[in-house]
Amino acid sequence: MGHHEAKIHQEIKFLGNLQNYLREFVYGGIDGAVTTFAVVAGAVGANLDASIIIILGFANLLADGFSMSVGAYLSSKSEKENYNKHRNIEYWEVDNIPEKERKEIVEIYTAKGFEGELLKKVVDVIVSDRDRWVDEMMKDELNMIEETKSPLKIGLATLISFILIGFIPLMVYVYDFFNETVIDLFFWTSLFTGIAFVVIGWLKSYVNQTNVFKSVLETLALGFVAALVAYFVGDFLESLIMSSK
């Protein structure tokens, strides 16, 4: 029974960790699908061979995925370092200029509507604990909240989602390369990518707590516009190059 409970606890913890990084997964997936689909659309507009589309698509998928995940990792790491720097400053101020810091707590809680004996009691409770005091200064004076998520996991979640969702626009072309078909590759690619946009838009609405229909529509519109621009740019460049020969 104890082993069973421990297993359930581990599963709940794992699911909780997945939910914590859902935002990174969603936005990594959106970026992956949009950029890869735009590359495919641009290549189709330029009438490039399917094998070239696969090469360009995978080059974009891996390079952009790595770049975005590194950016997400460094951004989160920098945010943590900045928070810790200011936290250490607050600890120094609490230890070396406590009267000034106490006065700031008084001002913060006065602004919140506390006064008289109640204000004094609240301030006394806060300044009686060094860690609580610093936490209060970080939150109410500097408006800084500590990021509890791991920068490495943020980067990994971004990379995994970028590659997984970003592979969808290439899926049909890869399948056709190994099992030659007579289907309209770009049509089926657009269809599968559209479904991916719907799913990722639905997840985005869950993450941001917004209207599902609006979120799905925004994601679809973003992908459509990016692909449309890429397609016509590819078509224009192909016409320009061919006419100059």
Q: What is the pLDDT of residues 231-242, one digit of tens each?
A: 888 888 778 877
pLDDT of residue 209: 84
pLDDT of residue 243: 72
pLDDT of residue 37: 92
Which positions ≥6 away from 70 have C-beta within 8 Å?
155
Structural contact between residues 29 and 162, judged by C-beta atoms closer than 8 angstroms: yes
Is 245 a domain residue? no
Q: Per-residue confidence at 12, pLDDT binned at 50, 70, 90?
A: very low
Q: Average pLDDT in the 188-200 region?
A: 92
Q: Per-residue confidence at 15, pLDDT binned at 50, 70, 90?
A: very low
Is 7 a domain residue? no
Q: Per-residue confidence at 6, pLDDT binned at 50, 70, 90?
A: low
Is 141 a domain residue? yes
Which positions ≥6 away from 186 have C-beta within 8 Å?
40, 41, 44
pLDDT of residue 205: 87
Is 166 a domain residue? yes
Is 155 a domain residue? yes
Amino acid at 144: M
CA distance 216 to 202: 6
pLDDT in tens, 114-154: 999 999 999 999 999 999 999 999 999 888 888 888 999 99
Closest CA to 148 of 11, 21, 9, 12: 21
Q: How many structural domains are present in the chain?
A: 1
Q: Per-residue confidence at 245, pLDDT binned at 50, 70, 90?
A: low
pLDDT in tens, 160-172: 999 999 999 999 9
Is 36 a domain residue? yes
pLDDT at 14 > cutoff 50: no
φ, ψ of residue 126 in degrees (nearest 5) = -65, -50
Closest CA to 141 of 126, 151, 120: 126
Is 207 a domain residue? yes
Q: Average pLDDT in the 30-38 region?
A: 91
Predicted TM-score of the model (pTM): 0.80
Q: Average pLDDT in the 73-85 region?
A: 94
Is 9 a domain residue? no
User: DSSP string spanning 158-210?
Assistant: HHHHHHHHHTHHHHHHHHHHHS---S-HHHHHHHHHHHHHHHHHHHHHHHHT-
pLDDT of residue 11: 45
Give me the chain's average pLDDT, please: 88
For residue 42, the enclosing domain spans 25-236
